Structure 1
């Protein structure tokens, strides 16, 4: 556990013992048919690209005092870890709106379903983090996958930690929370790091590394994606795991040397199913071919018996002689054999 103080201005500091309430236990068995359809959930959250633009946003419940929200008994909660400073309560899902600092581009339906099943079996071990908004709703800062899993389970409320955070603090917390998840791609991490730098939330990569708790090499590796051509970044937005960190440096190096079109083609090959190593090898070979083109050698004419000419062409290591019309190739071969003997 980090020793640095958590960001934010808490409204209340929890003072429970180490057996602090940290999540919500749910029934041990959950009929699978009771899960909401994944397409319905993603559509509700605005994550389905095929969703019509005019579809209603997530309905918000009227603001009510937190004391009127039903809190399950102590027998229904799981104990885990250490509490963030803030006010802990149960909130209706309809009072929580999606955060604008979510770095994750793609939510894997299978992994989301697996998380929902885990929560159904073991309970929620870590409260999600929200901040209050002026209209009485709460913006989700950390824990969107846990929030979506609760929607899949058709739950009506979730255990939250309410913290008063400004925009900079909220963005850093959203990045650090997602950074701890192993399934977040380096491209998605890089996108969140780049936003923190571009918006001036952090002044340089050294401060960024300190604030999010990552090494400078990790920061540089993730930011390297944004040196790729714009066309490749568009592919990565659709599939953040398209290009792994093992080959991104090589693609960036090729693009920096003026081979952006070749890099775009290589990325498209990967998108169509070519392995990353094969695409890199193709790109390097293509660059070598373009740098040293083998221009065709024009045919030459040599005299033959002082009355005609033979056409001579080269094809790699082959020497091709073409006699003129009316001359027997066998006669040419015999002539060359005699000439070679005479010179030998």
Structure 2
């Protein structure tokens, strides 16, 4: 009853540290981080048994009076293992967008997210809350190209993404597979051979060259010779416009072409609207 009484004294502003029963706290279902290393959790649980939870969790109050974790799920999990009955928290008023932003920022600053989880967090901000890559880059202190490169990883098959989540494949290796015809096959070869990123790039180019038998394949092969900046810009424009964007830049010149590909008349109407708006 003492624990409950303490939670009832919490103010809505919630700037001060309070203690609440651990059973009244639950994780944010939209938390980008999905994997928690069991060994790390066990080490943290041992530390908590000896010294307690030094840094309060950041939570927000739900309509039913319980609390949702905004930052500190790892401490909450370890505290359960340590069999704590109550936890120090700071209650804040956050919108859904702010909760996701804080969760991503906290994990990125602590380098806790793997590349796929980080990319999924960015995708959530874009799809659910309408954030642009520019806005995310500014808010999170990341370059736009960094965000664009991570988002492209989500185009890979789930099996390959799981390799990245487990740490079997680095993000750098995975990026080389985004344009591959059979990324899973190449990913297995990269892991089996212990290839460097440079060697992985060579493997992908070799695989693509091996398929270049028809004129269609040859056109695609030459497109793959675009530099990384051009491919990154194509990805940025495609993501922002919701259309396939192809940049054909003439080597050694400043001139080139930008091709917008539409599949329906509605998409054509949207292109016309965007162009006429400027």
> TM-score, structure 2 length as denominator?
0.65
Say which one has the larger Rg. 1
Determine the structure 1 residue equivalent to 2:149.
Answer: 221
CA distance in 1: counterparts of 2:211 and 2:38, whole angstroms:
43
1:182 paired to 2:111: yes
CA distance in 1: counterparts of 2:190 and 2:83, whole angstroms:
38
Which range is displaced more, 205-214 or 127-136?
A: 205-214
- CA deviations 1:288-326 (Å, max 9, x no partner) are 334369xxxxxxxxxxxxxxxxxxxxxxxxxxxxxxxxx
CA distance in 2: counterparts of 1:213 and 1:125, whole angstroms:
27
Determine the structure 1 residue equivalent to 2:240.
Answer: none
Q: Are the aligned partners of 2:173 and 2:200 in contact in 1 as well (CA < 8 Å)?
A: no
Q: Are the aligned partners of 1:101 and 1:141 in contact in 2 as well (CA < 8 Å)?
A: no
CA distance in 2: counterparts of 1:224 and 1:187, whole angstroms:
10
With over 3 angstroms needed to count, the CA separation of the structure-2 counterparts of 1:67 and 1:219, relative to structure 1, is closer
Which range is displaced more, 204-213 or 152-161?
A: 204-213
Q: For 1:205, which of 125, 133, 136 is the aligned residue?
A: 133
Determine the structure 2 residue equivalent to 1:289.
Answer: 210
Q: Are the aligned partners of 1:130 and 1:139 in contact in 2 as well (CA < 8 Å)?
A: yes
- CA deviations 1:221-247 (Å, max 9, x no partner) are 3223123245533x358x353431222
CA distance in 2: counterparts of 1:91 and 1:264, whole angstroms:
47
CA distance in 2: counterparts of 1:122 and 1:216, whole angstroms:
41
Determine the structure 2 residue equivalent to 1:31.
Answer: none
Q: For 2:185, which of 262, 265, 268 is the aligned residue?
A: 265
- Aligned with 1:199: secondary structure? helix
CA distance in 2: counterparts of 1:68 and 1:155, whole angstroms:
20
CA distance in 1: counterparts of 2:186 and 2:149, whole angstroms:
20
Q: Are the aligned partners of 1:168 and 1:201 in contact in 2 as well (CA < 8 Å)?
A: no
1:66 paired to 2:6: yes
Q: CA deviation at 1:282?
A: 4.3
Q: CA deviation at 1:280?
A: 5.2
- Aligned with 1:291: secondary structure? coil
Q: Which runs of 4+ in 1 moved over 6 A?
A: none
CA distance in 1: counterparts of 2:159 and 2:8, whole angstroms:
51
Determine the structure 2 residue equivalent to 1:89.
Answer: 18
CA distance in 1: counterparts of 2:15 and 2:63, whole angstroms:
18
- CA deviations 1:9-41 (Å, max 9, x no partner) are xxxxxxxxxxxxxxxxxxxxxxxxxxxxxxxxx
Q: CA deviation at 1:136?
A: 1.5
Q: Are the aligned partners of 2:58 and 2:90 in contact in 1 as well (CA < 8 Å)?
A: yes
Gap runs ≥5 in structure 2: 215-278
- CA deviations 1:135-161 (Å, max 9, x no partner) are 121111111111111111111111111
Q: CA deviation at 1:127?
A: 1.1
Q: CA deviation at 1:274?
A: 4.4
Determine the structure 2 residue equivalent to 1:243.
Answer: 169
Determine the structure 1 residue equivalent to 2:63.
Answer: 134
CA distance in 1: counterparts of 2:82 and 2:26, whole angstroms:
18
Q: Are the aligned partners of 1:91 and 1:158 in contact in 2 as well (CA < 8 Å)?
A: yes
Q: CA deviation at 1:96?
A: 0.6
1:111 paired to 2:40: yes
Higher RCO, 1 or 2 (CA under 8 Å, sep at least 6)?
1
- What is the aligned length? 208
- Aligned with 1:214: secondary structure? coil
With over 3 angstroms needed to count, the CA separation of the structure-2 counterparts of 1:242 and 1:223, relative to structure 1, is farther
Q: CA deviation at 1:122?
A: 4.3
Determine the structure 1 residue equivalent to 2:194.
Answer: 275
- Aligned with 1:135: secondary structure? coil
Higher helix proportion, which one? 2
CA distance in 1: counterparts of 2:213 and 2:32, whole angstroms:
43
Q: Are the aligned partners of 1:188 and 1:240 in contact in 2 as well (CA < 8 Å)?
A: no
CA distance in 1: counterparts of 2:117 and 2:195, whole angstroms:
19
